[in-house]
Structure 1
Amino acid sequence: MELDTVFITLLLAAIFSSLAPYQFEYVQTSMNCTEAQKYCRNNYSDLASIRNSADVTELLKIVNGASRVWIGLVKTVRSEWKWSLGDPVFYTARDSLYRNWASNQPNNDQYNCAYMSQDGLWCNDNCATQRFFICYNHSSKGFILVQQSMSWRSAQSFCRSNHRDLSSVRNQSENQQIQQLMNTGGVTAAWIGLFRDSWEWSDKSKSSFRNWVSNEPNNIGGIENATVLVISGDRKELWEDWPCDSQFTFICQDQFVLIKQNLSWSEALTYCRQNHVDLVSVPSPQIEQRVMSVARRASTAAVWMGLRYSCGVNTWLWSNGEVVCYQNWAAGNSTGSHYCREQRVGAVQSAGDQRWVSLPPTLSLNFICSGP
C-alpha cells in the first residue's frame, strides 16, 4: 500500500487514549502578562495551557528559583458553563455540551456551580453552599456518592485527591446512573462538576481544568485578570489571579511536541492526528531551528517528521499535503527513483548537524507532533 493512503489504524485508538503533555519551556525573564504572551507567540507557540494535573506536575519540574510564574489563563467578558474534569480527551463529539437543566435554570448570574436534584434535573447555586457530591473514579465503580457536606470547591479538591475529579455528565445514560445512585443513598441534591467562569486559555484551547487556591480568583481591586501558578509554599501547584501589569517569569508551550515512543512512521502519524494536529512540517529555517531543538531531546538517532515521498507526483510532500519547498537533506538522501519501490519517509537526525534523512517507514523512532 502506498504511503499516500496510510493514515489511521483502529489499533492505536485503543493504545493511545490520553493526550501527551505539551512541550513546556520556562523563560527566566520577568515580564508583565502581555509581554510574556507576545514573547511566547514569537518564539514558541503561546503561554502555557494546562489540561490536567499531569501538566501541572510537568510545569513544576522545569521552574527554578521562582515563587510564581505566568500561565496562559486570562479573564474575558464571556461567562460559560464548563466541566471541572477539563481534559478534552475525556469527551467525544459534543458530549461535553450535554445539559439537563430544570425549567428556568440556570436562574441567577451570581450562582456559578451546578447540582443534580433527585429527579435528575440540574440547578445552579451559590458555590459556597454545603452539599453532598458526586466524584468520578477511573475504576469500574465510575461514579462515587460522597455523603459529606462541602462547598463546591472543597468537593472538587476532595474528588481530585481521592478519585479523579467531580463528576462530568456526558449523556442521559450517565445522568440516570447518578440519579439512581442518589436515590439509593436517599440524597435529594448533590454537586456535580459543572461550573461557570469567564476565564479562557491564551491559545483558545478547550481545557476547562482549573486549580485555584480556595479563595481565588478574588479579583482584588477589580484588575486581576491574569493567572499565575504558585511554585512553592503552602499554595504550591495552585493558581492565583494577579493584575496583568505584575512582573513574573513565565512558561511557554511549544507547538512542537517530542513523543519518546518508538513507532513506525504511519503509527506516529496516527498518534499525532489523534492527540495533537499532525506530524511536524518544516517550511522554513526558522521553524527548523525549533524542531532541531526539540529533536535533540530524543532517545533515537533520528526523529520522524511528516515527510513522505509520493510516487504519484514524484516528489516529497508533507503529511498535510503541502509540497516540500525548504529542504535540508543529508548528502544522498533527497532523490532517487528507487524510493517508489522501497517506500521512503523523512526524519531529522537528533545529533550532529541534524540534517534530514530518508528511511524505511517500518523503522521505530521517536517523533515530533505539531499542536494547535
Structure 2
Amino acid sequence: MLLFTAMLVLLWAFCPLTTAGRLRTLHVEYESTGMNFTAARNICQSKYTDLLTEYNEQINKEIVKELLEIPNLDVHSVKWSDGAAVTFFNLTGNCGSDCCAAMKADKEWDSVNCTITKPFVCFDKGYTKYIVIDKKKSWFEAQQDCRQNDTDLFTIRNVSENENLETAKDSIWIGLQHRKIDKSFTNFANQSLFCIYQGKWYQSIKSEVHAVCYKSYIHVSTHEMSWEKALDYCNASGLLRIESKDDQIETEEELQRQNLSEPVWIGLRQSRLFGFWIWMNGPNVGNWTNWKGGRQPEHQISHHCGVMEKVDGTFKWADKDCRSKFRVLCEIR
C-alpha cells in the first residue's frame, strides 16, 4: 500500500477535522494534498480565513486530539528501530497496543505481538545490505542481537527494498514497531502517526502534505469610529470580549497577521457610577485581565471605554475617551 494511496483513501473516509477554540478554529483540508502553497492558500481563503502558516507541535497535538475522538478509529505511533523516517509502509492487521512488524512471504508486513519468537533480519555492519538471522527470538531480543553487532533491525525505505528482501518460509522480524496512542500521548517529536479505520491502515496528518486552515471569529473594521459607533457597527455579534489568556493570544496573533499596531476598540466599558468594568456582550471582567501597568484604570480619573493597545511590543488593555476614533474588533459567528 503506497503512502499516497493511503492518504487519498483517508480523504474519502473522513470529513475535514476541526479543532475547537472560542476565537479560532483549525480545519485540515485533505484535498490540498500535493498542492503548492498558493493553491492551498486559495482553498483556505475561499472556505475559511486563511492558511495557517505557524504550524507547530501544539497544533499537531490539537489535530491528533480530534483524531482520537473519531469513533472506531485508532491512532498509532509508528517508528523504525534505527530511527529512520517512515517513508514506505506495507503493514496489515493490528495485534493490539504494542506490536511489531514481521514480513511475510507475500512481501506484506503482519502486525504481531512483539513477544512472539521469529527469525529476524539485521543490517550488515556497513548498513548497505541485510543479513537474515535464522534464530527465533522476540522482536526486542532480535533488536538487541543486531545492536550487539553494531547494526540494527532492518529498515525498509521503498518498494524496491521491500521486494528485494528474501524471506524464509516463515515470516521474519523487520525493524518496524507500532503502538496505539491515547489522549495522554504528548511526545510528537520524530513520530510517524497512522490511523486504523475499519481494519485498514491510513497515514495520518502531515503538515507538508495537507493544508491546515484557520477560521478566525475576530473581525477587524477597515475604518475608524468612536466607541458608540463601534457598538452599532458590530451589532448583534458584539464588540470583542477577551475572557482568557488564550483569547488574548489569539487576538494578538490576528492583529499581528493584519500588521496592526495602533489601538483598536474592544468590548470593555466602565460604569461611570461604580467604576467596575464589564464586557458589553458578555460577563463582567473576571479574574484574568491584561491591563496596561498591571491594574485597571482608577475610577474618577479614567476614561470609560476600552482598547487593545501596543505597549513595549505587546498588546495591553487600556482606557480611552469614548469619542476617540479607532478601528474596531468584533466577534463574528
Q: More relative contact order in 1 or in 2 (CA 8 Å, sep 6+)?
A: 1
Superposition TM-score, scaled by structure 2 size:
0.39
Superposition TM-score, scaled by structure 1 size:
0.35
- Which of structures 1 and 2 has the bigger CA Rg? 2
